[in-house]
Amino acid sequence: MHQYKGKLIVHTGSMFSGKTSSLEKDVKRFNIAKYKTIAFKPAIDSRYRRSEIVTHDLTSMNAILVKDIHELIEYCNELKPDVIAIDEVQFLGGEVEDIIRGINELLEKDFTIIVAGLDMDFTGTPFETVKELMPIADYLYKHHAVCVKCGSDGWVSHRKSKDQERIKIGASDEYEPLCRKCFLEENKNLND
């Protein structure tokens, strides 16, 4: 597993696509290989349990809540892990440039970083942090959920309500995965 030293692993896609499950699987592999791992999640993520990363199928692992990249770096400097996992990276507080700079600084110090995050919001607009992390990733995995309308690969996390605020934390009560075709059809029906 030493080939991952100083590498960035990105898991992205829509909700319900297995991003967090893949992050958790990666962390377990590093733990088996005797690496010191620490998982973080943004303080804004209030779903499930506050001090754990929980997948939609309810598996979990301990996590430290952080408000921004600066707080995350402070923990890393203090606790000195080998591997850093960040779930829901798109919700990490701070300016996108600061987040990217901070992650690059950690990579230069030979930390292995695994992130999971949504590539797009409910309108199909890319989340800036994930958009900037994708090209600098050493390993990039685009995950797909199953479209609830037709069974094709899910492309976006469609919000079920008409609420238009960009950040609204939720799960299957608020969102459903749709393929591009069903998403465009759904939006056409909303606008008619």
pLDDT at 102: 97
Residue of 175, 169, 171, 172 lying closest to 46 (CA atoms): 169
What are the residues whose beta carbons fall under 8 Å from the beta carbon of 141, sequence distance 6 or more?
9, 10, 11, 12, 22
- Report the C-alpha gap between 140 and 137 in whole angstroms: 6
Structural domain boundaries in the chain: 2-144
192 residues of the chain, pLDDT tens digit each: 568 899 999 999 999 999 999 999 999 999 999 999 999 999 886 555 567 676 656 666 789 999 999 999 999 999 999 999 999 999 999 999 999 999 999 999 999 999 999 999 999 999 999 999 999 999 999 999 999 999 999 999 998 877 777 776 656 678 899 999 999 998 887 665
Residue of 66, 62, 147, 138 lying closest to 107 (CA atoms): 138
Q: Which active-site residues does the annotation give?
A: 88
pLDDT at 170: 58
pLDDT at 160: 81
> How many CA atoms, within 13 angstroms, populate the side-chain half-sphere of residue 6?
4
What architecture (CATH level 2) is domain 2-144? 3-Layer(aba) Sandwich (3.40)
pLDDT at 57: 64
pLDDT at 163: 74
pLDDT at 187: 82
pLDDT at 43: 87
- Report the C-alpha gap between 123 and 111 in whole angstroms: 34
Cβ burial of 26 (10 Å; 0-12, 13-18, 19+) is buried
